[in-house]
Amino acid sequence: MKGTPKTALTHFFTWLFFAVIYFFSSEGITRILFHGYDGVELWLGVLGIGQILIFLVVLVSLILSIWKPKKNS
């Protein structure tokens, strides 16, 4: 359990990094996905779904890295 806080902090900062990058790029992604439509509602939808997916991927990675079986060295 000694490395768990370090692992959790690493995953938190990874999530924060990808969330900020996605926040600034989500408008361009919305334009690509919904060409011809313009609206804040679409952008918020794409932003919300993307943020949830990023969070879930990082959460699964955190759970797997904490619960991985210890190898006998």
Structure token digits, residue 56: 């879930």
pLDDT tens digit at each of 73 positions of the chain: 566 888 899 999 999 999 999 999 999 999 998 888 888 999 999 999 999 999 999 999 999 988 876 665 5
Which DSSP symbol is given to 70?
P
* pTM metric for this prediction: 0.81
Which DSSP symbol is given to 68?
S
Torsion of CA 56, 4, 9, 48, to 10 degrees: 10
- Answer for the pair 50, 26: CB distance below 8 angstroms, yes or no: yes
Tokens 């890295």: give the residue: 65
